[in-house]
Chains A and B, each alone.
Chain A
Amino acid sequence: MSTGQSRKYKVIGTRPVRHDGVDKVTGRAKYGADVRLTGMLYAAMLRSPHAHARIKRIDTSKAAAVPGVRAVVTSADLPEQGDRIVELGEGAANMPHLSSNILARDKVLYRGHAVAAVAADNIHIAEEAVKLIQVEYEILPPEMDVVKAMRSGASILHDDLRTEFASPSSGDSGPTNVAKQYLFEKGDVAAGFSRSEVVVEREFDTATVHQGYIEPHNATALWNPDGKITVWMSTQGAFSARQQTAEVLRVPVSSVKVVPMEIGGGFGGKIPIYLPPVAAVLSRKSGRPVKLVMQRADVFEATGPTPGSHIRLKMGVSKDGKIQAAEAWMAFEAGAYPGSPVGMACMCVFACYDIPNGRIEGYDVCVNRPRTFAYRAPGSTHVAFAIESVIDEICQKIGIDPAEFRLKNGAREGTRRVDGPTFPRVGMVETVEAIKNSAHYRTPLTGKNRGRGIASGFWFNVGLKSSVTATVNNDGTVSLVEGSTDIGGTRTSIAMQLAETLGIAAEDVNPTVADTDSVGYTDITGGSRVTFATGIAAVEAAKEIQRQLVERAALLWDCDPKAACYVDGGVQGPDGKRIGFKELAEKLHLTGGAVIGNGTSSAAQQGGAFGTHCVDLEVDPDTGKVQILRYTIAQDAGTAIHPSYVEGQMQGGVVQGIGWALNEEYFYDEQGSMRNATFLDYRMPTTYDVPMIDTIIVEVPDPAHPYGVRGVGEVPICPPPAAIANAIRAAVGVRMRELPMSPPRLLAEILKAQTK
């Protein structure tokens, strides 16, 4: 369902079959683990059984002696990094941290931390040999909890870590696990609270959760004797993976070629690299290509989930329902190395609303869990759970409809965020209106133990850099080469923008995702940026093609190119002359050969994405189990290029959010071992756990994109935990402030309320 379905476009807004579709329904598409090279070896990794320990000694001799073993590596085989910080496009990387996360140097900082690797003739030999590597550890106490890890006397992960305070005058913290403090202020918070008739202050906890992509990380590397390294892998960003690999190996970036294979999901988790440098060094040592694929338990234990968090949130509202002041304090688990998304969480927490007076303080804290990385709108879901729950409570206290409250206080064009930036045209209130007017919201919910909740969410969406090369073929089609790996149908959404601009059919564009030697620099597929930024690059490439085709037509007509122009899928010239794209393409060889358009995008900034969700659910008051009955999501997509894949992003994000809300969590024992590192016990929703997810595509075009595109990938994950918590409150009267709201936790709250 769509509210503002664009009719002004021919291609945009239609639903063509995706270009890579047939390969993917026939099993022909090649993903990272499907790579097979002549003479290829298979590698396995040794991982730490301890959450925190010093490595005293590693003896690989027994493993190396196993027949069929061709190479063994440890961190000693990776170059020293010094204390280099390297800019990676979407952020800076601390190289010693990046390198020792790939192979532990003197300490292991989480269970599953990679320690050594073996390449052998087959995977079974490699796995058996890995078991023969002897490591002597000095076991240290693990710090698993974000709040405890901040206390003085906590076990210290990095002896050299000092807090980077928001204000440089705050002095030296001494050895600590607190890597960084964030602080944002706007207006006069104390005055705002004193003007408030209702003030609610609550604390929230969220668990570590994983992106849960079905395809494990993989890399196949060949280090040629000429020094050229080729890596075939599943990655969200081939150029980022190339640079990370080159920096870790300390080789020139041009000596590494990354060939992006099809990728089986990422959601942020396949931006960092774990395997390519290891596979590459194994290849150098063995002289053979080496394939390294993670096991599922490795994916859980040793790749970057999104952090657990502790959040305190206070909001003051006047009797008429206007927010007067708000304050948030939050601490996020960075995992083994600094770098949680707490900074982004700080910027998101109040972003949906016009907050006249606000204060936000955040901390990035190291704990003995895997180094966290991006997961779909990193940081925003955590804080949406907190603020949207507090708002629901306030609405209940002052007796205002929660949709009305959001309309009254929602961010609009010109609203200044507490952290500084002012919004351009955005669609927050439009999404609230869409929910308010939806059949779902207007249908009363009946039945025992049932409740309805709504919540909103925000995500920035990024621009960054993209490149596209498009070549006109003489049969009237266009070959489009792009650097954005396609995780969810972006080949088609990019091809459609090129097709729209050239006035040809989407099916006449043939998109290819190229390796790092074959296309211009392109940032990651992440930040909800591809359809926006790579789309802009495709439009630029199409415009370049238009210019060249005008010249070709002018040549045919023997007229001044200035007298011709590209209109509606063809060139118009003087005296009513017109030649269509196809016809002109057929004459390319007569007019000077190939027509190639290049396009790049680098400066464009997105305006931000908002969504509002409505959920009905039923609680089993005797077991604490929640069934989702009905779910509607309204989201501002700017302009929906391919509505099916826009809906798909919305539906997929919602269901991930439902999993986060109800059951997903890293469950650790006291030694810091994850007890549920399988798909059996890390409980992602199955088909049988969710209903159909109804979608309302709201279209408030983003002025920064030629067709008004807003990224749609991330924001749908933000509201579900809060919407569900609000619905649970409505159903059974208890307010859940800890994620996941699993049956044991919910039942405990229900029983507590009954005995009161």
Chain B
Amino acid sequence: MHAFDYQAPTTLREALELLSKPQQSARPLAGGTDLIDQMRVGRLTPEVVIDIKKIAELNALRVDSGGLHLGAAVPCYRICSERAIIDDYSALVDSCRIIGGVQIQSRASLGGNLCNSGPAGDSIPSLIALQATCLIAGPQGTREVPVESFCTGPGKNVLRTGELLIELRMPRRAPHSGSHYRRMIPRNEMDIAVVGVGASVQLDATGKTIVAARLALGAVAPTPLYAESASQLLAGQPVSDALIAKAAQAAREIVKPISDMRGTAEYRVHVTGVLVQRALQAAIVRARGEACDYRPGH
């Protein structure tokens, strides 16, 4: 690995100062599970690595009247063990349980997963489905960006020099809501998504009609996608196989996948539809308060 300096600020102000020092490339370190490997292979060569795990704001994890506040450095395992998230933001737990293995989940954070901005990042479709907003701090103060606008290309995002992702905020969940994330991988664990789909639905009190829905797709375009038209065609419609199939078709129409060692473009298009159906069905089951028999990888 190249030589670099390591800093572990304890306040946000300190971190922001370090990040905006001129003539010095800096990179924040949360779980390190992407960054350390990228430095090892020489893809990233920051002069200073700023460990942000000691900053209180980045470790926040609470649900209040405004919804869920998730510090950018909170590791996956904490998210998976938080009752309020398991109950109301299930898709996040689905994501956090399959990002790497258990060891990776001890360290990896959703902030890191998002800032790595991989098209296949497993948390991003869930964050989009759950309507997350990114709270970003920088030299000019803080700003908010909807998560679907955060990534701008493979490994690229809206963060400017000196800026730091602080928190992910998700609105309170309406009653009769459910969400789910699933992905297609060739093995059952320890793979990068060939296709990933996040789905969130809100049903009416009868559980028979979709009030609102959000679908998001991973690994099928240069960035994770919010499948807007597919989401909108579900709103106000009674739940039916035909409706779900229609959403799957609409999702297939917006993907622009590549062929690589993980799958061909045609395969990804086909599987997008398959997973949209499965993710929607699971989200609906959860919205009805029923148990969803989902085994990761299956």
Q: Do chains A and B touch in the complex (CB under 8 A)?
A: yes
**B274 contacts A688, CB within 8 Å?**
no
Per-position contact with B for A429-455: 1 when CB-CB < 8 Å, else 0? 000000000000000000000000000
Chain A: CB-nearest residue to B268? A744
Residues of A within 8 A of B261 (CB): 667, 675-676, 681
Per the bound structure, the CA–CA distance linking A676 and B260 in Å amounts to 10
Q: For the complex, is B189 an interface residue (Cβ under 8 Å from A)?
A: yes
Contacts A623-B274, A744-B263 known; A663 to B187 CB distance under 8 Å? yes
Per the bound structure, the CA–CA distance linking A464 and B2 in Å amounts to 48
Q: For the complex, is A683 an interface residue (Cβ under 8 Å from B)?
A: yes
Tell which of B189, B260, B263, B274 touches A689, judged by Cβ atoms closer than 8 Å.
Answer: B189
Expressed in whole angstroms, the minimum distance between the Cβ of A466 and any Cβ of chain B is 39
**A683 contacts B263, CB within 8 Å?**
no
**A747 contacts B267, CB within 8 Å?**
yes
Expressed in whole angstroms, the minimum distance between the Cβ of A469 and any Cβ of chain B is 44
Residues of A within 8 A of B187 (CB): 663, 683, 685-686, 688-689
Per the bound structure, the CA–CA distance linking A675 and B274 in Å amounts to 27
Q: For the complex, is A124 an interface residue (Cβ under 8 Å from B)?
A: yes
Q: For the complex, is A680 an interface residue (Cβ under 8 Å from B)?
A: yes
Per-position contact with B for A662-686: 1 when CB-CB < 8 Å, else 0? 1100010000000110001101011
**B186 contacts A680, CB within 8 Å?**
no
**A662 contacts B274, CB within 8 Å?**
no
Per the bound structure, the CA–CA distance linking A359 and B189 in Å amounts to 44
**A743 contacts B186, CB within 8 Å?**
yes
- Name the residue among B187, B194, B270 with the largest chain A CB count within 10 angstroms: B187
Expressed in whole angstroms, the minimum distance between the Cβ of B2 and any Cβ of chain A is 7
Chain B: CB-nearest residue to A674? B261
Q: For the complex, is B124 an interface residue (Cβ under 8 Å from A)?
A: no
Residues of B within 8 A of A224 (CB): none
In the complex, chain A residues 672-717 whose Cβ is within 8 Å of any chain B Cβ? 675-676, 680-681, 683, 685-686, 688-689
- Name the residue among B186, B260, B261 with the largest chain A CB count within 10 angstroms: B186
Chain A: CB-nearest residue to B100? A680
Q: For the complex, is B292 an interface residue (Cβ under 8 Å from A)?
A: no
Residues of B within 8 A of A625 (CB): 184, 186
Chain A: CB-nearest residue to B189? A688
Residues of A within 8 A of B264 (CB): 744
**A688 contacts B263, CB within 8 Å?**
no
**B262 contacts A128, CB within 8 Å?**
no
Contacts A124-B3, A623-B274, A625-B186 known; A748 to B192 CB distance under 8 Å? no
Tell which of B3, B192, B297 touches A688, judged by Cβ atoms closer than 8 Å.
Answer: B297
In the complex, chain B residues 257-298 whose Cβ is within 8 Å of any chain A Cβ? 260-264, 266-267, 270-271, 274, 297-298
In the complex, chain A residues 620-642 whose Cβ is within 8 Å of any chain B Cβ? 622-625, 627
Per-position contact with B for A713-756: 1 when CB-CB < 8 Å, else 0? 00000000000000000000000000000111001100100000
Per-position contact with B for A125-164: 1 when CB-CB < 8 Å, else 0? 0011000000000000000000000000000000000000
Tell which of A627, A686, A748 touches B190, judged by Cβ atoms closer than 8 Å.
Answer: A686
Chain A: CB-nearest residue to B191? A683
Q: Known A-B contacts: A675-B260, A748-B266. Give 18 more (CB < 8 A).
A: A124-B1, A124-B3, A625-B186, A627-B298, A663-B186, A663-B187, A675-B261, A681-B262, A686-B187, A686-B190, A688-B188, A689-B189, A743-B194, A743-B263, A744-B263, A747-B270, A748-B267, A751-B270
How many chain A residues touch the partner (CB < 8 A)?
A: 26
Residues of B within 8 A of A124 (CB): 1, 3
Interface of B (DSSP majority class): loop
Residues of A within 8 A of B2 (CB): 128
Per the bound structure, the CA–CA distance linking A742 and B270 in Å amounts to 15
**B190 contacts A680, CB within 8 Å?**
yes
**A680 contacts B192, CB within 8 Å?**
yes
Residues of B within 8 A of A680 (CB): 190-192
Per the bound structure, the CA–CA distance linking A296 and B191 in Å amounts to 17
Chain A residues proximal to chain B, CB less than 8 Å = 124, 127-128, 622-625, 627, 662-663, 667, 675-676, 680-681, 683, 685-686, 688-689, 742-744, 747-748, 751
Residues of A within 8 A of B188 (CB): 627, 686, 688-689
Expressed in whole angstroms, the minimum distance between the Cβ of A121 and any Cβ of chain B is 14
Expressed in whole angstroms, the minimum distance between the Cβ of A47 and any Cβ of chain B is 13
Residues of A within 8 A of B267 (CB): 624, 743-744, 747-748
Expressed in whole angstroms, the minimum distance between the Cβ of A633 and any Cβ of chain B is 21
Residues of B within 8 A of A751 (CB): 270
Expressed in whole angstroms, the minimum distance between the Cβ of B243 and any Cβ of chain A is 18
Expressed in whole angstroms, the minimum distance between the Cβ of A664 and any Cβ of chain B is 10
Residues of B within 8 A of A675 (CB): 260-261
**A623 contacts B192, CB within 8 Å?**
no
Tell which of B1, B184, B260 touches A623, judged by Cβ atoms closer than 8 Å.
Answer: B184
Per the bound structure, the CA–CA distance linking A248 and B121 in Å amounts to 47
Residues of B within 8 A of A667 (CB): 261
Residues of B within 8 A of A747 (CB): 267, 270-271
Expressed in whole angstroms, the minimum distance between the Cβ of B245 and any Cβ of chain A is 12
**A686 contacts B192, CB within 8 Å?**
no
In the complex, chain B residues 1-42 whose Cβ is within 8 Å of any chain A Cβ? 1-3
Question: Could you show 6 A-B contacts with beta carbons less than 8 Å apart?
Answer: A124-B1, A625-B184, A680-B190, A681-B192, A683-B191, A689-B187
- Name the residue among A124, A623, A686 with the largest chain B CB count within 10 angstroms: A623
Per the bound structure, the CA–CA distance linking A544 and B105 in Å amounts to 58
**B189 contacts A683, CB within 8 Å?**
no
Expressed in whole angstroms, the minimum distance between the Cβ of A189 and any Cβ of chain B is 40
In the complex, chain B residues 189-218 whose Cβ is within 8 Å of any chain A Cβ? 189-192, 194
Expressed in whole angstroms, the minimum distance between the Cβ of A52 and any Cβ of chain B is 21
Per-position contact with A for B232-270: 1 when CB-CB < 8 Å, else 0? 000000000000000000000000000011111011001
Per the bound structure, the CA–CA distance linking A662 and B263 in Å amounts to 14
Contacts A676-B261, A743-B267 known; A622 to B3 CB distance under 8 Å? no
Per the bound structure, the CA–CA distance linking A744 and B271 in Å amounts to 10
**A742 contacts B189, CB within 8 Å?**
no
Residues of A within 8 A of B189 (CB): 686, 688-689
Residues of A within 8 A of B297 (CB): 688-689
Residues of B within 8 A of A689 (CB): 187-189, 297
Expressed in whole angstroms, the minimum distance between the Cβ of A447 and any Cβ of chain B is 14
Expressed in whole angstroms, the minimum distance between the Cβ of B220 and any Cβ of chain A is 14
Per the bound structure, the CA–CA distance linking A405 and B260 in Å amounts to 41
Per the bound structure, the CA–CA distance linking A680 and B274 in Å amounts to 24
Expressed in whole angstroms, the minimum distance between the Cβ of A721 and any Cβ of chain B is 15
**B192 contacts A743, CB within 8 Å?**
no
10 nearest A-B pairs in the assembled complex, by CB-CB distance: A667-B261, A744-B267, A622-B274, A675-B261, A688-B189, A676-B261, A688-B188, A663-B186, A689-B188, A744-B263
Expressed in whole angstroms, the minimum distance between the Cβ of A216 and any Cβ of chain B is 14
Per the bound structure, the CA–CA distance linking A751 and B274 in Å amounts to 13
Chain A: CB-nearest residue to B267? A744
Chain B: CB-nearest residue to A127? B1
Per the bound structure, the CA–CA distance linking A467 and B85 in Å amounts to 63
Per the bound structure, the CA–CA distance linking A663 and B274 in Å amounts to 21
Per the bound structure, the CA–CA distance linking A623 and B185 in Å amounts to 10
Per the bound structure, the CA–CA distance linking A751 and B273 in Å amounts to 14
Per the bound structure, the CA–CA distance linking A747 and B266 in Å amounts to 10
Per the bound structure, the CA–CA distance linking A408 and B297 in Å amounts to 41
Residues of B within 8 A of A748 (CB): 266-267
In the complex, chain B residues 154-182 whose Cβ is within 8 Å of any chain A Cβ? none
Per the bound structure, the CA–CA distance linking A747 and B272 in Å amounts to 13
Per the bound structure, the CA–CA distance linking A747 and B263 in Å amounts to 11
Residues of B within 8 A of A128 (CB): 2
Residues of A within 8 A of B270 (CB): 747, 751
- Name the residue among A680, A689, A744 with the largest chain B CB count within 10 angstroms: A744
**A743 contacts B184, CB within 8 Å?**
yes
Residues of B within 8 A of A627 (CB): 188, 298
Per the bound structure, the CA–CA distance linking A685 and B270 in Å amounts to 25
Per the bound structure, the CA–CA distance linking A128 and B187 in Å amounts to 36
Per the bound structure, the CA–CA distance linking A439 and B267 in Å amounts to 38
Expressed in whole angstroms, the minimum distance between the Cβ of A745 and any Cβ of chain B is 9
Expressed in whole angstroms, the minimum distance between the Cβ of A616 and any Cβ of chain B is 16
Expressed in whole angstroms, the minimum distance between the Cβ of A734 and any Cβ of chain B is 15
